[in-house]
Chains A and B, each alone.
Chain A
Amino acid sequence: MDNPEQKVEHQHTKNWYDKSYKLILFFPVALLAACLVYLVIFHSQTGDLINRDVSLKGGTTITLLGDVDAVKLEAQLTEKIPDVSFRSLSEMGSEKQIALVIESSMQPDELKQNIEDILGYKLTDENSSIEFTGPSLSANFYRQLIIALIISFVLMSIVIFIMFKSFIPSIAVIFAAFADIVMALALVDFLGMKLSAAGIAAFLMLVGYSVDTDILLTTRALKKAEGTLNQRIYGAFKTGIFMTTTALFAVLPAFFIVTGLPDSFRQIFLILAFGLGADIINTWMTNASIIKWYCDKKGIK
């Protein structure tokens, strides 16, 4: 496949890469440290690692169908209810509003009454959806999803250890997965997103989904086939980066093209997108540098 021109280029990158791969490791580690610091500050300010939405905090979500007067409703509701928040779902292109989502920690009947008073008509099955989660249940949900996330991470780590049977390469993969989650989480908090139960479920998927490029890299690097270590890493990179790009392109239309989607659906996709973005850094900078370091020490060429 490779033509002579590319081979020359390889030679260049090889020299540069051999010299600087340890330096490259600095960037993701610094980024990870910054994210961790941010999360610690976030935790000390809010008392929690994430902004929970009503499905994890308890409260009511009312979705009004169609083109309701969001401005009027927002102005009047905010006066009466302090913790109310609004989000509008609109069709991309036409910008036509298909639904207005209203969230509050109130009981469903009260919130419904307040909205009906302002709008001047009854909320029915035809024109609205109402979702209510009690505070005790949502606290349960939250705690259990966090436990599930930890179990998921531990199970994934076990699978990785069984696969590679050696300590450093396995830890490198697990560390990259951990960094993916921390970075995605920091980004979620930074953007002020409110996470739902489905959003946390997406983190579980990220645990499993983000390691496939790491497995690819580690397998290609360690299984001594042919070519130099750098060539093998570069080969893995070519395959892996295409995998991640495809996945990103598959996930992104949910934000830029078709936007009128259920919240659970969009959160899952958005968190996968964050995680995949972080995965590019953590696989090809973090994990690749560690595995190269390891191979250099072990004399794997």
Chain B
Amino acid sequence: MVLRQEGDKMKISFRVWLLVICLSLAAMIIINGSAASRFLAGFIVILVPIALTYVNSKVGKVLVILILAASLVYVALTATGDGVIIKSIEKNSTEFSEGLRSGMILKSLNGGEIKNVEDYSRLISALLPSKEETKIILGTDSKEIVFVTNKTLSITVENIKKTNLKTGLDLSGGARALVSAERPLTSSEMSDLVAVTSNRLNVFGISDVSVRSVSDLEGNSYMLIEVAGVSPADLKELVAKQGKFEARIGNESLDNNESKGILVFEGGKGDISDVCRNRAECSGIQSCDKTSSGYGCSFRFTVYLTEEAAKKHAEITKDIPLDSTGEYLTEKLYLYVDNSEMDSLLIGADLKGQVTTQVSIQGSGTGATQEEAYNDAKTNMNKLQTILITGSLPYKLNLVKLDSVSPMLGKEFTNNIIKLGLIVFAIICALLFIKYRKIKITMAVILTVVSEATLTLAIAALIRWNLDAPSIAGIIAGMGTGVNDQIIIIDESISSEQTSLKERIKRALFIIFGAFFTIVAAMLPLFWAGTGLLRGFALTTIIGVSVGILITRPAFADIMKRISE
């Protein structure tokens, strides 16, 4: 870096550059939007130290900083563009069959521009529902979708997020359930439970749901279910009970019940004795072939029925005629989970009227490449296997924790936390200025504390961490440690001692490293205690102090050397 040098003053040290580069990356990570605008944001951050080096007058420096900060804010706010994002869509709706999908961005409706959710609500409520069929033209980010309907659209929309930060349950609203089994589960049993549960929750059309297994310090394992946003009223029923699985033949409604066809077997009744999974001899991808539109792979796995179920199957199938090809029966076998149809299977002619306890189930997957087709087939096979074991898991479930947080309360909390943050920030600035009476020192501390918080948030966004209230408390505590460390460095560097500045900074760093290691050591056990529900608190604190020790503190020490020289 060749800069216009005025003695030593104009040189920006390597450690300060490191901080600037990290901040520039952080801006790119946190801002949600097009690649171009993210790069622009990163570039603006890099410009700050360069501009400060070239501009000599104080007024000029302040002006440059203000202009750069304003342009950064502008870029951040406009990075995503206008529109609303589709969060969920009904699968059997007109708009779905016309190609509208969740994740698409709606930009216009019948010529009217959509900038936010309010625009969308206003435009849509003027048109639908209507008595006569109305032509709807939806402009999305990828294509235009035209269809005719008189019902209101079966989609939910949200404003596009300006940042990639995700907030946790207690701040964004939603539900969390912790489920344990009546006996300890092996890891494969647990993964079955997780698969079956996520499958069932998907049946219910709950979007933004995460199901995973968690364990605690004592080795107990639980299933953790987290639903973002508005939670369903019957979540308790859904997660605490096993699902109902039924296989029925034919889809004629025989009685007035919701389910159709004749019941062949159901889960949990001992009809299915085993579903072959992860055993090569009875489960796996059979073959992959090139087709006209890409590749297709077929899979096959075996299901073992009990004697009674097999007899029942034979009894029901013996009267069903063969179809025109002669390979299959005219009626299909329909699979239901919690009364929703999940899948249907053709019944091979050789099964007609046969009492067989081993049934081979076949299916396929497609894709543009062979790998894609293989993975698609595998996904389909796993899904089918998961359906078949629904309801037959040999243990009862206990709901041990169920929290549902109103999104409105979360919003209130978020606003208050932001308010609190600003107040705390102002108080710290005032205290520092009162104590040191030097605008430069105060500014340097503010800069490093803000940098630390920014870098911590960027890392949280990068690892897709949900920031809940304890996580934010952790960030604030991390900032507090940062301020404390800065005070130690300042007091060492401005002290009137004869010892060299280098020696004093070294002593300050010894204290700071000690404080760093004690806080990491103290927070570490929280990662495992209590199924990790408070992990966020430990995580953000540790990220905050680590960022401090590795990036901002060395840069701050250099800045202080410059100021005190």
Identify the closest chain A residue to B435 (Cβ). Answer: A242
Among candidates A136, A140, A156, A261, residue contacting B218 with C-beta atoms closer than 8 Å: A140
B524 at the interface (CB under 8 A from A): yes
B401 lies within 8 A of A133 (CB): yes
B498 at the interface (CB under 8 A from A): yes
Tell me whether chain A's interface is mostly helix, strand or loop, or mixed.
Answer: helix
A205 lies within 8 A of B522 (CB): yes
B420 lies within 8 A of A242 (CB): no
A130 at the interface (CB under 8 A from B): yes
The interface-forming segment of A45-53, A222-230, A280-288, A293-301 is A222-230
A27 at the interface (CB under 8 A from B): no
- Kindly provide the distance from the CB of B512 to the nearest chain A CB, expressed in whole angstroms: 8
Given contacts A205-B477, A215-B515, A246-B487, contact A63 B522 (CB under 8 A): no
Given contacts A144-B529, A212-B515, A225-B499, contact A198 B521 (CB under 8 A): no
Identify the closest chain B residue to A91 (Cβ). Answer: B416
Among candidates A125, A137, A216, residue contacting B407 with C-beta atoms closer than 8 Å: A125
B530 lies within 8 A of A156 (CB): no
Cβ–Cβ < 8 Å partners of B517 in chain A: 159, 163
Cβ–Cβ < 8 Å partners of A254 in chain B: 420
- Kindly provide the distance from the CB of A77 to the nearest chain B CB, expressed in whole angstroms: 20
Cβ–Cβ < 8 Å partners of A268 in chain B: 470, 473, 477, 537
B417 at the interface (CB under 8 A from A): yes
A209 lies within 8 A of B525 (CB): no
Cβ–Cβ < 8 Å partners of B220 in chain A: 140
Given contacts A209-B481, A260-B413, contact A158 B511 (CB under 8 A): no
B278 at the interface (CB under 8 A from A): no
B480 lies within 8 A of A247 (CB): yes
B488 at the interface (CB under 8 A from A): yes
B401-441 interface code vs A (CB 8 A; 1 in, 0 out): 11111111100110011011001100110011001000000
Cβ–Cβ < 8 Å partners of A211 in chain B: 515, 518
A258 lies within 8 A of B521 (CB): no
A31 at the interface (CB under 8 A from B): no
B541 at the interface (CB under 8 A from A): yes
Among candidates B408, B481, B497, B523, residue contacting A225 with C-beta atoms closer than 8 Å: B497
A100 to B517, CA, bound (A): 40
Among candidates B217, B495, B518, residue contacting A208 with C-beta atoms closer than 8 Å: B518
Identify the closest chain B residue to A227 (Cβ). Answer: B497
Cβ–Cβ < 8 Å partners of B89 in chain A: none
The CB with the most chain A CB atoms within 10 A, among B405, B435, B530, is that of B530
B409 lies within 8 A of A129 (CB): yes
Among candidates B216, B408, B497, B514, residue contacting A226 with C-beta atoms closer than 8 Å: B497
B528 at the interface (CB under 8 A from A): yes
- Kindly provide the distance from the CB of A10 to the nearest chain B CB, expressed in whole angstroms: 13
A109-136 interface code vs B (CB 8 A; 1 in, 0 out): 0000000000000001111111111101
The CB with the most chain B CB atoms within 10 A, among A63, A149, A160, A258, is that of A258
Within 8 A of B (CB), among A191-207: 197-198, 201, 204-205, 207
A129 lies within 8 A of B406 (CB): yes
A141 lies within 8 A of B491 (CB): no
Cβ–Cβ < 8 Å partners of B476 in chain A: 250
B482-494 interface code vs A (CB 8 A; 1 in, 0 out): 0110011001001
A262 to B412, CA, bound (A): 10
Cβ–Cβ < 8 Å partners of A136 in chain B: 400
A152 lies within 8 A of B525 (CB): yes
Within 8 A of B (CB), among A1-53: 1-2
Within 8 A of B (CB), among A130-166: 130-134, 136-137, 140-141, 143-145, 147-149, 151-153, 155-156, 158-160, 163
A128 lies within 8 A of B406 (CB): yes
Cβ–Cβ < 8 Å partners of A149 in chain B: 525
Within 8 A of A (CB), among B182-231: 216-218, 220, 230-231
A215 to B507, CA, bound (A): 11
Identify the closest chain A residue to B487 (Cβ). Answer: A243
Cβ–Cβ < 8 Å partners of B538 in chain A: 201, 204
A257 at the interface (CB under 8 A from B): yes
A272 at the interface (CB under 8 A from B): yes
A163 to B218, CA, bound (A): 31
Cβ–Cβ < 8 Å partners of B423 in chain A: 253, 257-258
Cβ–Cβ < 8 Å partners of A73 in chain B: none
A265 lies within 8 A of B518 (CB): no
Identify the closest chain B residue to A134 (Cβ). Answer: B400
A103 to B405, CA, bound (A): 15
B444 at the interface (CB under 8 A from A): no
A1 lies within 8 A of B484 (CB): no
A145 lies within 8 A of B530 (CB): yes
A169 to B170, CA, bound (A): 43
Q: Count of A residues near B, CB < 8 Å?
A: 78
Among candidates B401, B498, B514, residue contacting A159 with C-beta atoms closer than 8 Å: B514
B487 lies within 8 A of A242 (CB): yes
A99 at the interface (CB under 8 A from B): yes
Cβ–Cβ < 8 Å partners of A204 in chain B: 522-523, 525-526, 538
A265 to B523, CA, bound (A): 16
A88 at the interface (CB under 8 A from B): no
A148 to B294, CA, bound (A): 55
A125 lies within 8 A of B404 (CB): yes
Identify the closest chain A residue to B413 (Cβ). Answer: A262
Cβ–Cβ < 8 Å partners of A258 in chain B: 416, 419-420, 423
A108 at the interface (CB under 8 A from B): yes
A132 lies within 8 A of B402 (CB): yes
Given contacts A126-B408, A208-B523, A249-B427, contact A148 B491 (CB under 8 A): no
Given contacts A148-B528, A201-B470, A265-B417, contact A246 B484 (CB under 8 A): yes
A254-277 interface code vs B (CB 8 A; 1 in, 0 out): 100110111011001100100000
- Kindly provide the distance from the CB of B208 to the nearest chain A CB, expressed in whole angstroms: 14
- Kindly provide the distance from the CB of B496 to the nearest chain A CB, expressed in whole angstroms: 5
The CB with the most chain B CB atoms within 10 A, among A149, A215, A269, is that of A215
A197 to B400, CA, bound (A): 15
Within 8 A of B (CB), among A168-187: none
Cβ–Cβ < 8 Å partners of B473 in chain A: 198, 264-265, 268-269
A257 to B424, CA, bound (A): 10
Given contacts A209-B477, A215-B514, A219-B511, contact A152 B524 (CB under 8 A): yes
B529 lies within 8 A of A249 (CB): no
B495 lies within 8 A of A265 (CB): no
B216-257 interface code vs A (CB 8 A; 1 in, 0 out): 111010000000001101001000000000000000000000
A2 to B496, CA, bound (A): 8
A207 to B491, CA, bound (A): 24
- Kindly provide the distance from the CB of B439 to the nearest chain A CB, expressed in whole angstroms: 18
Identify the closest chain B residue to A153 (Cβ). Answer: B522
B173 at the interface (CB under 8 A from A): yes
A145 lies within 8 A of B529 (CB): yes
B413 lies within 8 A of A208 (CB): no
Given contacts A63-B409, A245-B431, contact A239 B526 (CB under 8 A): no
- 5 closest A-B pairs by beta carbon, nearest first, are A208-B522, A208-B519, A148-B525, A155-B521, A148-B529
Identify 11 new A-B residue pairs, CB closer than 8 A, beyond the known A129-B404, A257-B420. Answer: A129-B406, A144-B216, A148-B526, A163-B514, A197-B530, A201-B526, A204-B526, A225-B497, A226-B498, A258-B419, A268-B473
Q: B-side interface residues toward A, CB under 8 Å?
A: 170-171, 173, 178, 180, 216-218, 220, 230-231, 233, 236, 398-409, 412-413, 416-417, 419-420, 423-424, 427-428, 431-432, 435, 468-470, 472-473, 476-477, 479-481, 483-484, 487-488, 491, 494-499, 507, 510-511, 514-515, 517-526, 528-531, 533-534, 537-538, 541
Could you list 17 A-B pairs, sorted by A, with CB under 8 Å? A1-B496, A63-B406, A63-B409, A125-B173, A126-B408, A129-B404, A133-B401, A141-B533, A144-B528, A144-B530, A145-B529, A219-B511, A247-B484, A250-B483, A251-B480, A265-B470, A268-B537
